[in-house]
Structure 1
Amino acid sequence: MSITAINVRNQFRGTVKEIIEGPVVSEVDVLTPGGLIVTSVITTRSIKDLDLAVGREVVALVKSTEVSIATL
């Protein structure tokens, strides 16, 4: 599935600034080019499945109260 196939209008490109890993859920801070930090709480398994790491370029997809992360 491509990013364009996702029905989320609020998308923020950025770079992973910090990952705080927990046993089940983790926090991912994404720094946008404008200096905004978007924080997502996702499963730790998703961190591994998306191969997220500090410095990785991602897109933060914001829908309602949820922030999803997609790799580029």
Structure 2
Amino acid sequence: MKLSARNFIPGKIKQITVGLVNAEVIIEVAPGVEVASVITKHSVENMDLKEGDTVNAMIKATSVMVAK
């Protein structure tokens, strides 16, 4: 599989909170560093995602802001 996303971050699922339509997936990418993703409930079920699974967070954005 080839992807255009440049930010491909491996990690483990720390927590999944499933709602009626969407689910929040928390991925620990380093000790104490987490990435949160909101995906559909259907995607969680279809991918059979579970806490402890090794996954990749892929981030694609048209702009990244920097603040100081």
TM category (shorter chain) comes to 0.7 to 0.9
RMSD: 1.4
Matched, 1:44 2:62: no
Query: Which among 11, 14, 37 is matched to residue 14 of structure 1?
Result: 11
Gaps of 5+ in 1: 66-72
Report the equivalent of 2:60: 63
Matched, 1:53 2:50: yes
**Greater relative contact order: 1 or 2 (C-alpha under 8 angstroms, separation 6 or more)?**
2
- Consecutive aligned runs of 4 or more in structure 1 exceeding 4 Å deviation: none
Report the equivalent of 1:33: 30
Identity %: 37
How many residues end up aligned between the 2 structures? 62
What amino acid is the match of 1:21?
V
State the alpha-carbon separation in 2 of the partners of residues 35 and 15 from structure 1.
12
Of the two, which has the highest radius of gyration? 2
What's the secondary structure of 1:47's corresponding residue?
Answer: helix
Alpha-carbon shift at residue 11 of structure 1 (Å): 1.0
